Structure 1
Amino acid sequence: MKKVISVYLKSICEESTNALNEKAVEVAYSTLTKAGVVAVPTDTIYGIAGLAQNNDVIDRIYRIKDRDKAKPIAICVSEIDEFYKWSKVTVPHSLLTDLLPGPVTVVFERSPALNNRLNPGTKLVGIRIPNNEFIRTVCRLCNSPLALSSANISSETSCISVEEFQHLWPSLDAVFDGGILKETDPNRLGSTVINLSVSGFYKIIREGCAFSNVKHILENKYSLKEMT
């Protein structure tokens, strides 16, 4: 296991601001494109990530988490335009820009372009664009969606610091430390997961940390109705 790598470096000019560690980005890109599995910070909790189009990587993520393969894994992309490649979008582009980047996972019907070995038990896929510059930059460089799941053994508490999942480090190819994430998701709820696969309707799959804001946008701005 490689050493833990800091995602951010303090700015020389301004101690209060952090700049992306270019070396961390380089190592993350190199590791992922060689079919590695890494731990990364997001805008909510720490996650485990790997190339979604690689079957071996998907299998490894399930093994590391000791996760039931019947439980789906979301994907992470860097830009909203990528939604149209990997899923069948049923909502206005502006709705997606109102929600993302942010602590929201949007569920649509998957497109044929997405790896059919990823979540084979469902025609749906959850897609995220975390409001985190590091993971978005790495995802953009990889030019591929990343399979993204929480950095913990399945059913265990989610993690807001790299030390909390230290027992998983030996199973990972690299761990990227973005500090303690408690300011963005203090209750460790993770992203709000919403099913938007049916035009005109929404269904909350997991309330997560942005539930109230998401519900307000969907109902008051776009007049979507909640599925029962």
Structure 2
Amino acid sequence: MSAKVVKSLFNVASHLKEPKNLLMSPVVKVSPSKESLALAVKLLKDGDIVSLPTDTVYGIAADAQNTRAIRKLYEVKGRDAGKPLAICVSDPENVGDWCNLSYNISSELLRALLPGPVTLVLERKDVLNFDLNPGVSSVGIRVPNHPFVREVTRRLGSPLALTSANKSSELSSLSVAEFSEMWDSLGAVFDGGHLGAVSDTSSRHGSTVVDLVTPGYFKIIRPGCALQNTVKILKSYGILEWNQ
């Protein structure tokens, strides 16, 4: 860990009952306490990369409006620079802050899909960091159904660039131990325990990714773990599947 991260951990740890445990490891137990939320927000604002639990798999995240942090996220992930990143916001109502919504994407439809294990690909707005997926006119956006990551995003005040916590081409992670080789590259690892039932690994498939750029139509980009329910909701709102 860098001296800056250690200092941040020390400042938070000084208010906790067991500060030594926090200082010995980059792993911080997720709790509703203000301290863990404050630490996550501080690290993100400082341009660090952190790992967070979501409603599917563990993710690594950066402030989407911070170009330096975006570049660092690609380095930590070992991700092809030409492969776009998705963003995460705290509430369905925030989707329209960063994406253009066509006439048939109502607030009711957004609330039916989100929060949940669904990533919507929409036309991006100019307010979104130009250096995030440069040259790409659309962006994937989601609202994970997990209180910690949503509250971190809310307090940060800007979207998170979010990708799964694993090296590119490797399996996604349902526990922090599964990506321990990445810990040294992260500002902190926020441990929310094993995600989902131990016997059910369906969430390892990640969120269902659906393209809604063409008004009135949807196209499944990645089936993910919520395909059937996502398709059912979209069709119930009159959105047709694009088969061309």
TM-score (norm 1): 0.92
Equivalent residue in structure 1 for 2:69, among 57, 70, 82: 57
Segments of structure 1 that go 5 or more residues without pairing to the other structure are 9-19
Q: How many angstroms apart in 2 are the aligned matches of 1:183 and 1:215?
A: 24
Equivalence for 1:6:
29
**Does residue 186 of structure 1 match 2:198?**
no
Separation in structure 2 between the aligned mates of residue 183 and residue 87 of structure 1, nearest angstrom: 34
Q: Is it true that 1:128 corresponds to 2:123 in the alignment? A: no
Provide the C-alpha distance between the structure 2 equivalents of 1:21 and 1:181, rounded to a whole number of angstroms: 20
1:155 equivalent to 2:178? Answer no
The DSSP-based 3-state class of the residue aligned with 1:149 is strand
- Residues 45-194 of structure 1 aligned to structure 2 (within 5 Å): 45-90=57-102, 91-183=105-197, 186-187=201-202, 188-194=204-210
Q: CA deviation at 1:70?
A: 1.0
> 2:239 maps to which residue?
224
Could you tell me which residue of structure 2 aligns to residue 12 of structure 1? none
- Pick the structure with more helix per residue: 2
Cα shift readout 1:92-126 (whole Å, capped 9, x = no counterpart): 11100000000000110000000111011311100
**Does 184-193 or 75-84 show the bigger shift?**
184-193
Q: Percent identity among equivalent residues?
A: 48
CA distance in 2, matches of 1:118, 1:170: 24
Q: Does 1:213 align with 2:229?
A: yes
Gaps of 5+ in 2: 2-24
Shift of 1:183: 2.8
1:56 and 1:33 map into 2 onto residues whose CA distance is 11
Cα RMSD between the aligned structures? 1.2
Q: 1:144 offset after TM fit, Å?
A: 0.4
By how many angstroms is 1:81 displaced?
Answer: 2.0
Q: Aligned equivalents of 1:200 and 1:169: distance in 2?
A: 43
Q: Give per-residue Cα distances to partners, 1:70-90, cap 9 Å, x unaligned.
A: 111000000122211111112
Instruction: Find the residue that maps to 1:48 and give its secondary structure.
Output: strand
**Equivalent position SS for 2:141:** strand
Paired residues, what number? Answer: 216
TM, length-normalised to structure 2: 0.86
Larger Cα Rg: Structure 1 or Structure 2? 2
C-alpha distance in 2 between matches for 1:21 and 1:106: 31
